């Protein structure tokens, strides 16, 4: 294996031993639910261990509050949404608006909007079929969440799937972008069915993302590779991580075939991650046929990943902590960890030139 580094590059693996240390970047956007899940009834969700209640106001806009009534601590998600767009607690009928202010206390004659009667609120944004929540309460969001332009682009079809994974968000994202495991865990479905290919990967890291571009990669063997490009050839392939929790895989096979898999990972707790997978594709084969063939194979791969990640988590708990030994073939995992830590500490930067660029050769 040949490795080319920039002079200031430093290989930084995750912690090797001891207690489990999970990065929790707060000042970022996360998907709380699909738009279709949020109707007229309140919806309970958990984000980074924080219980939330989501609902729509009288204009249909999403809102998110801490799922605790300021009166007697009852979950607000047990209540109902009134025609006025206010959320009414099921216990004593307090009414809170989308900003968390109490507007009505049944039976009370004086002013209702007092500081102690307010529930913390979280900024929300509805985009591309998802409701996003900014994880820091009562604060002005910085930036906007990722856009998914191919989801509704002309000529493209989209498959979506939601899966809960018993793993940290770091482990879930690394798994989604890890090439070497596909030849073993997904043997025959994606790689592993023939002679390994030598691949050159160019890794670039910015302050808010890291990308691996695979140069001159032959079409992966396996059922999915043959479905995407029956005639073989060379593919253009990118794996990307974007803060705080988005994994994206992109394949181009000639001028006609284009596939982008975006996994938006929402950390529910330290060891539970909800993965919203969005697969947008344009292929020579009819979209109906691709859906019929591709979706069962993709779901099989996702399930295999979920099982092995749950066993990984089980073993981490059994041994009382994590122990990693990373090599250069672990292209993105250590960089993902570093970016998560920097985001948690508030030092992540956006834009500008890459802070790292190197090339790695390996077989897969």
Beta carbons within 8 Å of 363's beta carbon, 6+ residues apart? 196, 197, 198, 199
3-class SS of residue 67: coil
Mean pLDDT of 94-105: 95
3-class SS of residue 9: coil
Distance CA 237, CA 252 (A): 7
Label residues 52-62 b or e (16+ Cβ within 10 Å = b).
bbbbbbeeeeb
Residue 131: pLDDT over 70: yes
Query: Over the stretch 232-257, which tens digit does the pLDDT of each residue have?
Result: 667 889 999 999 999 999 998 877 78
Angle formed at CA 142 by CA 139 and CA 145, multiple of 5 degrees: 115
pLDDT score of 6: 37
Mean pLDDT of 247-271: 91
pTM value?
0.88
Q: State the DSSP code for 60.
A: S
Domain spans of the chain, in order of start: 39-121, 149-363
Q: Which residues pair with 277 in a beta bridge?
A: 161, 263
pLDDT score of 40: 87
pLDDT score of 109: 75
Domain 39-121 CATH class label = mainly beta
The alpha carbons of the chain give a radius of gyration, in whole angstroms, of 23
Is residue 41 very low, low, confident or very high in pLDDT (cuts 50, 70, 90)? very high
Greater confidence (18 vs 318) lies with: 318
Residue 93: pLDDT over 70: yes
Q: Say how many CA atoms lie within 13 Å of 84 toward its Cβ.
A: 9
Q: Is 70 exposed, middle or buried (0-12, 13-18, 19+ CB in 10 A)?
A: buried
Q: Is the CATH code 3.90.380.10 the one for domain 149-363? A: yes
Q: Do domains 39-121 and 149-363 have the same CATH topology?
A: no
Residue 7: pLDDT over 80: no
Query: Over the stretch 282-326, which tens digit does the pLDDT of each residue have?
Result: 887 777 777 777 788 888 889 999 999 999 999 999 998 888 888
Report the candidate in 331, 298, 312 with the shortest Cα–Cα distance to residue 190. 298
Query: Over the stretch 54-72, which tens digit does the pLDDT of each residue have?
Result: 999 999 999 999 999 999 9
Distances from the Cα of 219 to the Cα of 12, 43, 67, 122, 233, angstroms: 31, 43, 48, 44, 6
- In the predicted model, what is the mean pLDDT of the chain? 86
pLDDT score of 358: 86
Residue 34: pLDDT over 90: yes
Is residue 164 very low, low, confident or very high in pLDDT (cuts 50, 70, 90)? very high
66, 137 Cβ separation under 8 angstroms: yes
């Amino acid at each position: 294996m040949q490795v080319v580094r920039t002079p200031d590059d430093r290989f930084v693996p995750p912690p090797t031993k001891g207690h489990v240390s999970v990065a929790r970047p707060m000042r970022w956007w996360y998907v709380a639910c699909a738009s279709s899940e949020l109707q007229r009834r309140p919806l309970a969700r958990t984000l980074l261990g924080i219980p939330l209640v989501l609902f729509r106001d009288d204009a249909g806009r999403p809102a998110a509050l801490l799922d605790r009534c300021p009166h007697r601590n009852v979950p607000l998600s047990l209540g109902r949404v009134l025609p006025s767009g206010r959320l009414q607690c099921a216990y004593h009928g307090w009414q809170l608006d989308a900003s968390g202010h109490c507007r009505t206390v049944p039976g009370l004659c004086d002013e209702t909007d007092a500081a102690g009667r307010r529930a913390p609120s979280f900024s929300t944004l509805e985009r591309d079929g998802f409701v996003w929540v900014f994880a820091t309460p009562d604060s002005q969001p910085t930036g906007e969440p990722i856009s998914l332009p191919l989801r509704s682009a002309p000529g493209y079809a989209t498959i979506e799937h939601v899966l809960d994974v018993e793993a940290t968000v770091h482990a879930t994202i690394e798994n989604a972008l890890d090439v070497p495991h596909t030849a073993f865990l997904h043997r025959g479905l994606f790689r592993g069915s023939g002679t390994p290919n030598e691949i050159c990967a160019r890794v670039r890291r910015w302050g808010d993302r890291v990308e691996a571009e695979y140069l001159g990669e032959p079409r992966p063997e396996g059922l999915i590779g043959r479905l995407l490009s029956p005639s073989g050839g060379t593919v253009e392939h990118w794996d990307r991580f974007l803060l705080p929790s988005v994994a994206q895989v992109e394949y181009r096979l000639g001028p006609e075939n284009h596939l982008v898999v975006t996994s938006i990972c929402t950390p529910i707790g330290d060891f539970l991650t909800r993965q919203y997978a969005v697969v947008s594709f344009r292929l020579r084969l009819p979209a109906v046929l691709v859906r019929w063939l591709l979706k069962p194979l993709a779901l099989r791969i996702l399930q295999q990943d979920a099982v092995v990640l749950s066993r990984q988590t089980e073993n981490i708990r059994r041994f009382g902590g994590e122990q990693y030994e990373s090599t250069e073939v672990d292209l993105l995992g250590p960089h993902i960890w570093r970016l998560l830590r920097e985001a948690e500490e508030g030092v992540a930067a956006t834009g500008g030139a890459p802070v790292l660029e190197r090339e790695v050769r390996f077989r897969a």
